[in-house]
Structure 1
């Protein structure tokens, strides 16, 4: 434990990250936690510090859809447009004629599964240069605008042909609303947050959590951290399940521990055990996660997690298909948020961990080396036998 704490405190001192809140747990409870550095001016990081978790929201959006699948109210392979007819507006960019995108119909319909696994053809503008080109030419707002029109990104490839990271789970949240009838924020509150006692997780920071909200920063040219305002849009036209949540490390660990427990935590069942097994299976077959090459270096570095290791996608998470020596096992799952909030859980070894901070760029190389060192130290400390 001392080695883990030293690793994080030294990393803060060296400006590898501005501050850290880290936790390790298993199906039974929390095994270790640590806070290092100041999360806001004059405020040390605390276990109950509140983070903008951005893409850590995606797993909860996928869980919401999986709950409906588990109850036989939704199917993995239902075409999205059968539930949301407006999805038919989305066409594939075939090519550009000058700055004009030439669009065509996709060769097959996108399904619920495609949305959850980033195989629908939707891609973010951060990692595909054709998206900002299209957005500038057409005036399409970003998905982070909070505008419903921001959902209507064009497709960059035909559904089911490749893995590419994008805003599919924002559409998945809309599917949940259409099938269930409740708004996605109410659904998540009643079906996930309240049963799991995730008392500091929500879609708006609110008065009760505002004093615990951490600062967001960006790495400057000299390597230090400068203030940088970035947050999910408040009171948007719709809550995007790709990015909209605020949460704490203990809350998110409860979510992960529920999955380690086969869908149940502290007597509250969120998914059946069979539902968890279905959720965590490989849902993209022979496809693999691809390196995400940045077109916005201030926002994200290139993202190439565990290069050389085959990675697939479950119904909600990146999944590794091989044991990583000294680290996670085959079948382990995880992902992250753009402000460098990271997590994984390892069903084979009954282990889950979060390492959360709040700065850009995402996947900063110095941070990613620390994250790898942290994971190695966690396994050496808690699973060395």
Structure 2
């Protein structure tokens, strides 16, 4: 078995990653922990076990846990139409294409949107990043992107009927809306009270404080030649909606108690 330190240090030396933190643990405690490289290729700060990382779409799992807690408590139902709780989902529309003048063609969805379909990305939603039809729809209508943090961004039509197929999507942002409606709390407060605090995850939260900002690894972009360059990246810290439900969390490398810090 290769030496873990050598493998991770080699990845940094080869330019595969700016830096890396790794940890392995079981019920008895920590088996391995190591940190190599830098938090930012444009600065000298070393990568350390307590470095804070964006975990992006891994927030989907955290939001899904929140929803399933409410299912256990019978405050949400997996297979009931969500339109009664979230009125915008009561009469979803499916994008079928565009007229010659580029006007979107919409029709009523044939099946309801349910929590199960949102959780499994089979509700009919998509991301404009990967679906050109949704990108065209946004350009034609002026619909803002989910990253904006605007409530309007969730008013996107479906691109297929609920239950018809799978497509990675903004569905988990709607799960966050369902959690808020059923619990009466903002998502970040619910997650703090019901998930993070009980697990002792003191270095965790949707909105980073000064300490987390000081330890946060910078986002890098890989060029065509393979080189990594630091870039500026941030999500709204006080959004109208909890868009972080789908893609806005950061995680400290140190996992003393299943740590996950959400920005």
TM-score (norm 1): 0.63
User: 1:9 aligns to what?
Assistant: 9
User: Is residue 47 from structure 1 mapped to residue 49 from structure 2 by the alignment?
Assistant: yes
User: Is residue 221 from structure 1 mapped to residue 224 from structure 2 by the alignment?
Assistant: yes
Alignment RMSD (CA, Å): 2.0
User: Is residue 243 from structure 1 mapped to residue 247 from structure 2 by the alignment?
Assistant: yes
- Provide the C-alpha distance between the structure 2 equivalents of 1:255 and 1:105, rounded to a whole number of angstroms: 43
- 1:251, CA displacement in angstroms? 4.4
- Provide the C-alpha distance between the structure 1 equivalents of 2:106 and 2:11, rounded to a whole number of angstroms: 48
User: 1:80 aligns to what?
Assistant: 82
> Alpha-carbon deviations, 1:228-270, whole Å to 9, x = none?
11222221112220012222134497169xxxxxxxxxxxxxx
| Pairing of 1:216-365 with structure 2 (within 5 A) | 216-240=219-243, 241-251=245-255, 254=258
The alpha-carbon distance between structure 1 residues 161 and 250, as it changes in their structure 2 partners (threshold 3 A), is farther
Please tell me whether the aligned partners of residues 109 and 162 of structure 2 are also in contact (alpha carbons under 8 angstroms).
yes
Pick which of 178-187 and 222-231 moved more: 222-231
Structure 2's unaligned 5+ residue stretches are none
Please tell me whether the aligned partners of residues 200 and 257 of structure 2 are also in contact (alpha carbons under 8 angstroms).
no
Please tell me whether the aligned partners of residues 18 and 37 of structure 1 are also in contact (alpha carbons under 8 angstroms).
yes
| Pairing of 1:28-67 with structure 2 (within 5 A) | 28-40=28-40, 41-67=43-69
> Alpha-carbon deviations, 1:109-133, whole Å to 9, x = none?
0100011111111111122111111
User: 1:307 aligns to what?
Assistant: none
- Provide the C-alpha distance between the structure 2 equivalents of 1:203 and 1:250, rounded to a whole number of angstroms: 17
User: Is residue 21 from structure 1 mapped to residue 17 from structure 2 by the alignment?
Assistant: no
- Provide the C-alpha distance between the structure 2 equivalents of 1:163 and 1:31, rounded to a whole number of angstroms: 37
Extract structure 1 runs of 4+ deviating beyond 4 A: none
User: Is residue 204 from structure 1 mapped to residue 202 from structure 2 by the alignment?
Assistant: no
- Provide the C-alpha distance between the structure 1 equivalents of 2:184 and 2:237, rounded to a whole number of angstroms: 23
- Provide the C-alpha distance between the structure 2 equivalents of 1:110 and 1:155, rounded to a whole number of angstroms: 10
User: 1:180 aligns to what?
Assistant: 183
How many residues are aligned here?
Answer: 257
Please tell me whether the aligned partners of residues 203 and 259 of structure 2 are also in contact (alpha carbons under 8 angstroms).
no
TM-score (norm 2): 0.91
- 1:89, CA displacement in angstroms? 5.6
